[in-house]
Amino acid sequence: MPESAIELRAMLEEGTNTLRRAGLAEPRRQALRIWSDLNQSSGAEALLGAAGTIQPNAAGRYRDSIHRRSAGEPLAHVTGWAGFRHLVIRSDRRALIPRPETEGLVDLLLERQRTGRVADIGTGTGCIALSLALEGRFERIVGLDRSAEALSLADTNRRLTGARVELMRADFCSALRDQSFDALISNPPYLTRDEYHRLDPAVRSWEPEMALVSGEDGLEATARLLDEGRRVLRPGGWLMVEVDCTRARAAARLASALGWVDTSVHTDLFDRERYLLARRSNRS
């Protein structure tokens, strides 16, 4: 073996040990994921080729990524990739990392609406809007965000996936016309400021505060969506919002007080009350 070459098996073992010493869960799985994502290959391909050699520049990139992960940077930021439903998209600190819980919100909409016009409020990486574009038959999908940086990331993912999604910079529903959409979907901020300060540093130090904090009671963004959604949705249109599990029932009561009908709370894959669904009344 040339002295300049390094065996992949040894490189993966080194990465695993570094992550283990940092106290990270499943260090071997994470070490393998980092190598695979950096080289756009599968874990199986890496394991099959573990007896092969890699060049020093590839080893240097891998060691740097392992160091970043061991220092607490989120895995999706280290590799630059995140999975969401059927997508693998770019992820960095410009937007919230897509969570498995949010995938259930997409399912709930697709069960009720697969055509028409839908807006994703606070689109972030674009994961919700892009999934709807690829899995539904919608006439129009718009992803809105007040962050220009998040929209830039969403645009990268739109080009990567080839999905037909419009992107628009706007604060909540302010740029949308009256009764112009059949459904609104959103994973808005839903933490109080105190809860934000108690978050794990892996979240608080790396993901945008504006995507996490929602006033003193955690319901500010949800309340605004319930208010503005009445104007933007056609009569009978759906609003679907991800909420904090401790405030799901409070959000449902707020929706009912504002005149929404067919209000319901649904659980996520961890059996936590996570999603608020409501319809705009045909009479309002």
| Domain CATH code at residue 90 | 3.40.50.150
**Distance separating alpha carbons of residues 128 and 185, to the nearest angstrom:** 8
Terminal CA-CA length for the chain? 75
Domain membership of residue 52 (yes or no) is: yes
Render 149-165 in DSSP notation, one character per residue.
HHHHHHHHHHHHHT---
Task: Compute the chain's Rg from CA coordinates.
Answer: 21
- Residue 49 sits in which domain range? 6-71
DSSP state of 97: P
Domain membership of residue 1 (yes or no) is: no
Q: CB of 93 within 8 A of CB of 147?
A: no
What pLDDT score does 5 carry? 64
Provide the domain count of the chain: 2
**Distance separating alpha carbons of residues 104 and 167, to the nearest angstrom:** 22
- Same domain, yes or no: 91 and 64: no
Structure token pair of residue 176: 């949308």
- Same domain, yes or no: 124 and 178: yes
- Same domain, yes or no: 148 and 211: yes
What pLDDT score does 47 carry? 56
DSSP state of 171: S
Q: CB of 188 within 8 A of CB of 122?
A: yes
Q: Tell me the whole-structure pTM to 2 decimals.
A: 0.91
Average pLDDT over the chain reads 92
- Same domain, yes or no: 244 and 150: yes
What pLDDT score does 4 carry? 55
The ranges of the chain with pLDDT < 50 are 1-3, 48, 51
What pLDDT score does 42 carry? 59
164 contact partners, CB below 8 Å, separation of at least 6: 133, 141
Q: CB of 6 within 8 A of CB of 56?
A: yes
- Same domain, yes or no: 160 and 208: yes
Choose one of 39, 71, 103: the last residue of a domain: 71
As to burial, measured by CB atoms within 10 angstroms (0-12 exposed, 13-18 middle, 19+ buried), residue 95 is buried
- Same domain, yes or no: 220 and 169: yes
- Same domain, yes or no: 272 and 137: yes
CA atoms within a 13 Å half-sphere pointing along the CA-CB vector of 234: 8
Domain membership of residue 77 (yes or no) is: no
What pLDDT score does 2 carry? 43
